[in-house]
Structure 1
């Protein structure tokens, strides 16, 4: 078959163009562009910088990249230290995603601090940090709260990178974050002969940190406060003690040795203590299994006894206000609920709630209590949580409640939806009860 000359010419031109592009690409000195994952300050490179990548050696496990002015210098860096992309535009987009924390690093305040696969404290551990080990902060994420002493710790989950390329998630409570560009040292201009932090360790009364957390959140769980709990460094006895709900642990020591500006080791034991900003203390020791145990303490402006009395007074004021609004509340379906003095209650005619909510044989009297608290997601709908402790069975039944001029609204809440005295979520199909003050009840209920 004869092919027209003009068609043959166009085809040859297209082939030549493809060959030319191939030759240009194959002769390019780059294999791509990389984003620096860990700063290389000796060569003027910082995390987030985009660099040309010339060679990838899987045998040596290194990249050859461009560094220095105009990226003219060629250096070798470990593969983990560079994130490789096919084009400069893709590398620039990736660099923009880490711009916020590109200069942010952190050091571990305790030995054995875990890095986890996910931002939650039950996730698999993939790395354990040594004391003062440095990691890079990649970005801040959203994860599950970290609980210590049945109270959430202050801090955030960060995606981090270690100096061997391990990537995971670490909670910030035991991290010291800093900007690598800030080279100004922290100095103490006071008398160098006096160790003010050791004096603070001995002179302060150290309570479990969850006391302060409860106070700050205005969720004071009386059952989790004991005046004898805390950390006692034993200045005179040379025996340090940790007293908690789990019992008392003692540490006879020979001397206290300063290991850093605000950290100390109790010689002759595995016990260490570090004073943090905000009058906080981290105490750590190694148990019989060789695992680190960590406890958190803080100082308070009030004593535990005062804290308990304050909370009891707050609860009593609320119960008194409910009784004043009634004291008898009536529902056509769920009977008559009466609040008496000394926080007692009488409840009759609640048969429709038995046995699904109120156990059979619970009786008609008991004590009204305020034992639980509302999570932020529920606090905008309800005033609080009322607990009815029925005397005949000693069983407790919990209700979300809202008190208004029109009456008392109760919504049953299962124990499964309460964690550490905090109502996490409402029931899927809750029973809702409306009770009207008797004086405003003209027809016997609704």
Structure 2
């Protein structure tokens, strides 16, 4: 107990001694060097890059005592806010080196924006910013572009400083860059008075992947890439926005939606923001769980996903029915008998010459047939389309260009298929010809 009291007494004596020392140094006007401000002190008309005298460094209080421009006032600033040099000339030289971004700050657009240890999106995170936070731009750097899908997001890498002195690199895509001499201090997001018809349209609709609109315009509907559950759903009533696709579901609880100065809509309380490109097209952006920026395009459609799926299935069935209307069975001297007993099903016997090069061994005698793949428009004079066969004993689809005539069914095997579109014909194609059979085998 006595030992504990002695330690407290000694600590108090030390604090008093340090305080008296600071007062003595301040009163005699001695300097320990000159500092370059890293962050502006507007209340004292001091700006980043100003060179000021430094009188005291307190590692206990973690502050410097500096002078104002006219050296009459003394004020304390955090240690991180000063770069200390022994001479005025060295400080001025350092200030000149960083003068380009002296007045340049930025406001953060989204919650969770990462600051990284290096100018690349895979570098270690050193800080996570919050929406509306102000940071200082130190310098521009060269780094790896930030990608969204196959496209690079616009912007540059900057070395930045936060308002607590943390340093690192941040990509400017989600920053609003400002000059402090021109910035009025208004909030980065503001709520307009009166109804906003663009926001009303945004919140009142379901939005689906923009690639669906491309499929509709090209009349090539890939049913493997359409589901009524996929899309962007703003959650106007629930205040929970949702993005759902083949990879899963992401939810974004939010408190309100406000319009930013650059015209985008921010879902407050989340990292989600939306840019309305046209009345029926939007860009949705957010930061994922790994701190990576994501961007996805969505569109409002004139038809519902359910009707798109229904119409495409009806189109495919009509193609198969046109073949069955000529004959339900076709025969070939080399490639056996091909039957279509019902829409969407086939039976194939005697195909040994095609196995295993085209039809895998053990595939069985039948399976599913669909008109699920498309041909380039320029091929329409040579082929009617593509028939795809999936044997019950196999997991893969086998694709054939087909041409139907009164003489029978011509098939040509193809391998090069991407995104439900035949890319090219084989250099040495296998061509099959089947004549209509008089009976079903």
2:276 aligned with 1:250? no
Deviation at 1:324, TM superposition (A): 0.9
SS at match of 1:129: coil
- State the SS of the aligned residue for 1:428: coil
Partners in 2 of 1:278 and 1:370 — Cα distance?
34
Match of 1:39 in 2: none
What is the alpha-carbon distance in structure 1 between the residues aligned to residue 206 and residue 331 of structure 2? 50
2:436 corresponds to 1:437: yes
Distance across 2 between alignment mates of 1:432 and 1:278? 49
2: CA distance, partners of 1:313 / 1:345: 18
Moved over 4 A (4+): none
- Pairwise CA distance, 1:374: 1.6
| Change in CA separation of 1:267 and 1:395 when aligned onto 2, cut-off 3 Å | closer
Does residue 279 of the first structure (1) align with residue 280 of the second (2)? Answer: yes
**Pairing 1:323–2:349 present:** no
Match of 1:129 among 147, 155, 164: 155
> 1:28 corresponds to which residue?
none
CA contact (8 A) 1:197 1:262 kept: no
Q: Contact conserved, 1:262 with 1:276, CA < 8 A, in 2? A: no
CA–CA separation in structure 2 for the residues paired with 1:289 and 1:195: 34
Equivalence map 1:94-109=2 (5 Å): none
Map 1:73-222 onto structure 2 (within 5 A). 128-129=154-155, 193-222=194-223
Task: Show the counterpart of 2:242.
Answer: 241
8 Å contact kept, 1:358–1:397 = yes
Task: Quote how far apart the aligned CAs of 1:261 are.
Answer: 7.3
User: Under a length normalisation based on structure 2, what TM-score does the superposition of the two structures give?
Assistant: 0.54
Report the 3-state secondary structure (helix = DSSP H, G, I; strand = E; otherwise coil) of the residue aligned with 1:373: coil
Match of 2:427 in 1: 428
In 2, Cα distance between equivalents of 1:193 and 1:404: 64
Shift of 1:438: 2.6
Aligned to 1:386: 387
Measure the CA separation in 1 of the matches of 2:195 and 2:320: 52
Post-superposition offset of 1:363: 2.2
SS of the residue corresponding to residue 409 of structure 1 reads: strand
Matched position secondary structure for 2:343: helix
Q: Distance in 1 between matches of 2:329 and 2:319?
A: 16
Aligned residue for 1:360, secondary structure, equals coil
Deviation at 1:255, TM superposition (A): 2.0
Gaps of 5+ in 1: 1-114, 131-190, 441-446
CA apart distance, 1:328:
1.8
8 Å Cα contact 1:362/1:395 also seen in 2: no
Change over 3 Å in CA distance of 1:116–1:300 after alignment to 2: farther
1:115-169 Cα deviation digits (max 9, x unpaired): 999xxx859x6x8437xxxxxxxxxxxxxxxxxxxxxxxxxxxxxxxxxxxxxxx
Q: CA deviation at 1:420?
A: 2.0
Q: Which structure 2 segments of 5+ residues have no match?
A: 1-142, 157-191
For residues 428 and 261 of structure 2, the distance between their equivalents in structure 1, rounded to whole angstroms, comes to 56
Shift of residue 198, structure 1, vs aligned partner? 0.6
Cα deviations by residue, 1:233-260 (Å, 9 ceiling, x for unpaired): 2222222111111111111222211015
Secondary structure of the 2:325 match is helix
Q: Deviations over 1:370-426 (max 9, x none)?
A: 221223454443211111121233543211111122221111112xx1112221111
* Superposed CA RMSD: 2.8
User: How many Å separate the matches in 2 of 1:116 and 1:332?
Assistant: 60
CA distance in 2, matches of 1:116, 1:425: 35
> Using a 3 Å threshold, how does the CA distance of structure 1 residues 295 and 367 change in structure 2: closer, same or farther?
same
Distance 1:369 1:129, change over 3 A: same
- CA distance 1:377–1:292, change in 2 (3 Å): farther
TM-score (norm 1): 0.54
Is 1:301 the equivalent of 2:302?
Answer: yes
